[in-house]
Structure 1
Amino acid sequence: MPTASEVATHIPTAEPAHPAVGAATSLLDAYTPGARFLGTPTRTLVGHGVDREVPHDERPLAERVAATLAEARAAGQAGPVVMGALPFDPAAPAALAVPETVRTAPPLCADPLIALPPDRPTPTDWQIRAVPSPEAYAAGVAASVERMWQGEFSKVVLARTLELTSPDPLDVPLMLQRLARRDPSGYTFALPTGTGRTLLGASPELLVSRHGNRVVSNPLAGSTPRSADLAEDVRRAAALLESAKDLHEHAVVVDAVHQALAPYCVDMVVPGKPTLVRTATMWHLSTTVTATLASPATSAMELACALQPTPAVCGTPTAVARDVIRETEGFDRGFFTGMVGWGDADGNGEWVVTIRCAEAEERSLRLYAGAGVVAASVPEAETAETAAKFRTFLHAVGAEL
């Protein structure tokens, strides 16, 4: 097994049963802004430098990614990997590149040292501005619910943001440490999206992974905030499993994932009922869809593009929901509710829905959170749900609403 200090020549499809203590956390500790960090339940990756970027042109994204990886391999890279982020708007440029070197380790959750507490954030006099305001957001939810009752569409995911400004430069590596150590079993990322800008977060939702001919997708839809009181936390989890509103919302997303993957897969297994997934702040309804790839020519990137956006981050029908989002939110989502991940030249990869995230630049942070709005939604409840989702990142920087 390579140590964390060795340069990987390939992305392993499985990690050793007994990984070296400290292999993954040493990569986390070594992260510096400008590098590309991805921590998933199967591996930890850090990319340094830029061998080549994926171009933005008229070709389908999966084709551009495959061509860029093939060029890197032909130029002498033994195991080129693309890493980065894709925006919510498919017409906007992606931030994808093949790093010069990629270091790999087993997953963070398999490293006992991940249990060590991170440093506390330096006390900061954060200035916080909500865009839109909670009241405006609730009004947008109410207006969307009214339109749903009129039959215009069946679901829309509405988001809001928090703009945080610090008097001092941001400590991005410490934010990443706090995100990763709080939810080490999730998908943690810190990725450059422009000069001096970093997209970082801790998403619980796997859009799709492909390893050989095995395909996995784990849609999440339907959620409720966690409680510090154990009995109340259990009560909330049980109520979520029985909520007609949330079960319907979840079923719509699972069906969309099933329909999107069906042309590419065989032997698909779609459980009839969801289970629960928890993060430090939220309970989510979860379904793990598994399948066998029909053709080895289909890459993880191609599968991800076929899936994105799911109703879990956009709505149904998709085109109408996009219009409602543009009309209602009042800001550009950028990379929020896009996807982040990695892919190799053999078509393997993991792509994750970009939620529980923020974009950092110099002294400012923009946090994002959204909620699925259906006809049974209550504006105050959806506003409270977005506030709970902000807690993931607020904890990372030592801020409160």
Structure 2
Amino acid sequence: MITINAENPAYSADPAFVLSRPQRTVTASAGGRVFHSPAEAVAQLRARRVTHIVGALPFTPGAPTALWAPDTISVTDGPRAARSVTAPDIAVTEHLPEPEEHLRRVAAAVRLLADPAQPLRKVVLARALRARADRTVRAADLLDLLVSTDPAGNGYLVDLSAAGGLFTGRHLVGSSPEILVRRIGTEVTSHPLAGSARRVPENALADRIAAETLLGSAKDQHEHGFVVDHVAGVLRDRCTDVRTPARPDLTETPAMWHLGTTIGATVPVAGPSALELAAALHPTPAVCGTPTAAAARLIAELEGERGFYAGAVGWCDAEGNGEWMVSIRCAELAADNRTLVAYAGGGIVAESDPEDELAETTGKLQRVLGPLGVAGRPAAVP
């Protein structure tokens, strides 16, 4: 059963998928039909064997996806009406890697990027924190804590079980500000973010200075340009009337300022769906680097497999409409419902400073950990 524009989506059972956005919230159950690639899901949508696809794409194209056709789905206006919940006591148990190692990785990448003889121009390096709750916690409760602390009501939850294997029973929960792609009718929008600065919310003047410094930063403009060029290029190959502003603007989240560019385009009714566009765009230089292949190789060498961090989360219907967010500002809740791994990354270019990059990831991690009341220092592993 598909329920559209339901006024009161039920909270009695935990959803398998939620995408909360300022315009609408899509909430879906699990489903019997699982798809192992975007292409397989697209084929079923185009044949109208299913009406909706929801789920997540991994960071690495070709890795297991968590895509399925839900048994029930509801679409409601506005962001999710977050419930009032109490966070468990959660403490950091491990840095992945230790901050000193992240500094070394960034410094090594900067040296590599400064060498004009090699092709790499940008790489996104990430780190993570493992934390443990004093009791079991519901993924939906974590989602509500994040949605309720985001001014725009952004949040997402995906049961990753459709990917199988080690992902069975795991959930990805986050609050992403970055639109990989949205298609409604014939209108396509992408809002990539690259170039960031920590906010100073307790000091309005210092916060404004941080924003203006970011907007005027040649280093961050350089980093942002790689992403805009990539997104615009992919859309030009598949859409018409691609509209790209000359300069980025500022996008704010509770913890960070970002450079963002709203890119618009038009597709014919029978043109590529939101899921097809998402698969073509991902991974952008905002989460990987440029050239893509060289950056991905370095990320795999330094970090290993990212799983669904820095992938994409979203939905698509048989008419091609849908929305896919870059899966950042997120944590993965393990099948034990107590262990969390939170992720954050930053774009590295030749002008990057390792200490600044470490501070940037700290600020981004706070977007997830802060609403959960997570202590910042490692505690003894229970």
**TM-score, normalised to structure 2's length?**
0.90
2:192 to 210, 214, 219: 219
Q: Percent of aligned pairs with the same residue?
A: 42
Contact 1:53 1:68 in 2 (8 A): no
Deviation at 1:69, TM superposition (A): 3.0
* Superposition map of 1:202-281 within 5 A: 202-227=175-200, 228-281=202-255
Deviations 1:321-345 (A, max 9, x none): 011111222x421001110000001
Contact 2:90 2:372 in 1 (8 A): no
Deviation at 1:304, TM superposition (A): 1.0
1:87 to 58, 80, 84: 58
* Superposition map of 1:156-235 within 5 A: 156-185=123-152, 187-194=154-161, 195-227=168-200, 228-235=202-209
CA distance in 2, matches of 1:127, 1:167: 11
Closer, same or farther: CA 184–97 of 1 in aligned 2, 3 Å: farther
Deviation at 1:68, TM superposition (A): 2.8
Closer, same or farther: CA 145–66 of 1 in aligned 2, 3 Å: same
* Superposition map of 1:50-65 within 5 A: 50-56=31-37, 61=38, 63-65=39-41
CA distance in 1, matches of 2:192, 2:211: 17
CA distance in 2, matches of 1:391, 1:229: 18
Q: Quote the residue 1:40 is aligned against.
A: 21
Q: Quote the residue 2:380 is aligned against.
A: none
3-state secondary structure, aligned to 1:396: coil
Closer, same or farther: CA 251–207 of 1 in aligned 2, 3 Å: same
Closer, same or farther: CA 248–125 of 1 in aligned 2, 3 Å: closer
Deviations 1:304-358 (A, max 9, x none): 11111111100011111011111222x4210011100000011111111110001
Deviation at 1:246, TM superposition (A): 0.5
CA distance in 1, matches of 2:131, 2:13: 21
Say whether 1:289 aligns with 2:292: no
1:377 to 352, 357, 364: 352
Contact 1:249 1:374 in 2 (8 A): yes
* Superposition map of 1:120-139 within 5 A: 120-122=86-88, 124=89, 126-139=91-104
Name stretches of at least 5 consecutive residues in structure 1 with no aligned partner.
1-6, 13-19
CA distance in 2, matches of 1:31, 1:42: 24
Deviations 1:180-231 (A, max 9, x none): 1111525411110023211110000000111111010001000101112111
CA distance in 1, matches of 2:140, 2:292: 36
3-state secondary structure, aligned to 1:337: coil
Deviation at 1:400, TM superposition (A): 2.6
CA distance in 2, matches of 1:50, 1:104: 17
Deviation at 1:35, TM superposition (A): 2.1
1:320 to 281, 294, 302: 294
Q: Quote the residue 2:84 is aligned against.
A: 118
Closer, same or farther: CA 355–32 of 1 in aligned 2, 3 Å: farther
CA distance in 2, matches of 1:34, 1:257: 32
Say whether 1:49 aligns with 2:30: yes
3-state secondary structure, aligned to 2:254: coil
CA distance in 1, matches of 2:63, 2:322: 22
Deviation at 1:70, TM superposition (A): 5.2
Structure 1 runs (4+) greater than 6 angstroms displaced: none
CA distance in 1, matches of 2:342, 2:30: 27
Contact 2:21 2:154 in 1 (8 A): yes
Q: Quote the residue 2:74 is aligned against.
A: 103
Contact 2:90 2:375 in 1 (8 A): no
Q: Quote the residue 1:69 is aligned against.
A: 45
CA distance in 2, matches of 1:97, 1:296: 22
CA distance in 2, matches of 1:42, 1:101: 20
CA distance in 2, matches of 1:347, 1:237: 37
CA distance in 2, matches of 1:241, 1:48: 41
Aligned length: 365
Name stretches of at least 5 consecutive residues in structure 2 with no aligned partner.
162-167, 377-382
Closer, same or farther: CA 55–143 of 1 in aligned 2, 3 Å: closer
Closer, same or farther: CA 65–327 of 1 in aligned 2, 3 Å: same
